[in-house]
Chains A and B, each alone.
Chain A
């Protein structure tokens, strides 16, 4: 059994670094009603580069940890580059292998990021 709920994932879930709202930023959202997940991402973009990003929402530990880790990862990167990211990179970032049903949770943040702008 791999440790899906390992320290680092729980830490991002319980004490997220990027929870909050940015006024005047671009934003996108998504709700997955069947999972009970909802997510809104705010991003400040200058010269095509994400200089700050925050999220609001609620959901399972995996979806929330994944988005917090993702935002850690994308700040400082070009939005166009970020939009090319794939789910595999999310799993690599989290350091776990996900079952198909949990992929849906973990990829939520990326899906929303791709809608930005």
Chain B
């Protein structure tokens, strides 16, 4: 199995780091940091404004990233890509900019029980304030005008069959707008907007080996035309008079103010990084590790995997819990793993409380989520740590 740790500077100073929390945020490869440094040291200017060379260069790099993102996710036009501050921001933009304007009282907005809070709460709140009907994991009918659904669950790791769901939904409700939360998908599997046929698709740079502070909202060209900006200011206008304003035509209309320029340019380098490693290699590497992880976890009798403890139809996100009495909660497990083994996992509800409630696991789960830098040794260390957890609580 290949070792990709050399691409990531963090291991130079933390050789024994077992980072298994990529679902929260991934580590960043050197290439991305260097690209951001290049911006700050060679053409650190604002975009779309200066008539001087370094501003032109910054603008070119920024807009190149838009094109790179479009190509990377199989969008038809770069104008369908709007930069945001992350998935949460993207989903809120779709809710406030599109849904608020295009749905009417009584229309049904549907989400699934497995959504991250950021693809749940904006829709719930929107529905409450505008008298839309909020449905959780129901059946799509003619009245369903919007469906918000994850591509990969950040708790269960399951890959949702988005393409066939969208196709079926459109047969029942032809005008339905489907908003896909791709935060856990984009860095770990190929995605193609034309093939999936989603209306909107949201993701974060920092969960795909890119910088924090930048995200993307993809939208079909016609959906952007149906939308109103939700933030106003510089960069998004065409004309401004004392009595009214008009908006820029392109994606700038939704990017008011100075955007996170270095981060967007860094996101471009992230895509270069993924291409350099090869998407098929990422998939293969993570699949092999996921199989290994699940096999090991399934051997631990006192631990249960939430959802299906099988390795098909999923990515490398696995949440687990113990029902053995006196075993502490996910917080205790994660604490021991972290302090004693430098194994970094997440404990709690992972921003998916409704899902944990449905499974009856109120005290939360320990989530392991893999990235390209992980190796079997990381999984082995996790298993060693889990044995220590058992010893701590039971075998004293």
Give A residues with C-beta under 8 Å from B.
Answer: 1, 4-5, 7, 10, 13-14, 33-37, 58-62, 102, 105
From B325, which residue of chain A is reached at the shortest CB distance? Answer: A14
From A104, which residue of chain B is reached at the shortest CB distance? Answer: B331
| Residue B328 at the chain A interface, CB threshold 8 Å | yes
| Residue B233 at the chain A interface, CB threshold 8 Å | no
A61 near B339 (CB under 8 angstroms)? no
B349 near A61 (CB under 8 angstroms)? no
B339 near A4 (CB under 8 angstroms)? yes
B353 near A33 (CB under 8 angstroms)? yes
A36 near B326 (CB under 8 angstroms)? no
B393 near A1 (CB under 8 angstroms)? no
| Residue B244 at the chain A interface, CB threshold 8 Å | no
B348 near A34 (CB under 8 angstroms)? yes
From A58, which residue of chain B is reached at the shortest CB distance? Answer: B363
B340 near A61 (CB under 8 angstroms)? no
| Residue B3 at the chain A interface, CB threshold 8 Å | no
| Residue B86 at the chain A interface, CB threshold 8 Å | no
B329 near A61 (CB under 8 angstroms)? yes
A61 near B328 (CB under 8 angstroms)? yes
- A60: chain B residues at CB < 8 Å are 328-332, 363
B332-355, CB < 8 A from A: 332, 335-336, 339-340, 348-349, 353
- B335: chain A residues at CB < 8 Å are 4, 62, 102
Give B residues with C-beta under 8 Å from A.
Answer: 326, 328-332, 335-336, 339-340, 348-349, 353, 362-364, 392-393, 396
- A37: chain B residues at CB < 8 Å are 363
Asked whether A59 and B396 contact (CB < 8 A) given A1-B340, A4-B335, A36-B362, the answer is no
Given contacts A1-B340, A14-B393, 8 further A-B pairs with CB under 8 A are A10-B393, A10-B396, A34-B349, A36-B331, A36-B348, A59-B363, A60-B328, A60-B363
A61 near B332 (CB under 8 angstroms)? yes
Interface pairs (17), CB distance under 8 Å? A1-B339, A5-B332, A5-B392, A5-B393, A13-B328, A14-B393, A34-B349, A36-B329, A36-B330, A36-B348, A36-B349, A36-B362, A58-B363, A59-B329, A60-B328, A61-B332, A62-B331
- B326: chain A residues at CB < 8 Å are 13-14
- B328: chain A residues at CB < 8 Å are 13, 60-61
Q: Measured between C-beta atoms, what is the minimum distance from A6 to chain B in Å?
A: 10
Provide the bound-state CA to CA distance between A37 and B330, in Å. 11
Provide the bound-state CA to CA distance between A73 and B138, in Å. 51
From A61, which residue of chain B is reached at the shortest CB distance? Answer: B328
Q: Which of A5, A7, A37 has its CB near the most chain B CB atoms (within 10 A)?
A: A5
Provide the bound-state CA to CA distance between A35 and B332, in Å. 11
B348 near A35 (CB under 8 angstroms)? yes
Q: Measured between C-beta atoms, what is the minimum distance from A113 to chain B in Å?
A: 21
From B392, which residue of chain A is reached at the shortest CB distance? Answer: A5
Provide the bound-state CA to CA distance between A33 and B117, in Å. 14
Provide the bound-state CA to CA distance between A59 and B335, in Å. 14
- A62: chain B residues at CB < 8 Å are 331-332, 335
Q: Measured between C-beta atoms, what is the minimum distance from A16 to chain B in Å?
A: 11
From B365, which residue of chain A is reached at the shortest CB distance? Answer: A36
A36 near B364 (CB under 8 angstroms)? yes
A35 near B396 (CB under 8 angstroms)? no
- A14: chain B residues at CB < 8 Å are 326, 393
Provide the bound-state CA to CA distance between A35 and B348, in Å. 6
Asked whether A105 and B331 contact (CB < 8 A) given A4-B339, A7-B396, the answer is yes
From B353, which residue of chain A is reached at the shortest CB distance? Answer: A33
Partner of B336, one of A5, A13, A36: A5
Q: Measured between C-beta atoms, what is the minimum distance from A79 to chain B in Å?
A: 30
Q: Measured between C-beta atoms, what is the minimum distance from A85 to chain B in Å?
A: 23
- A1: chain B residues at CB < 8 Å are 339-340
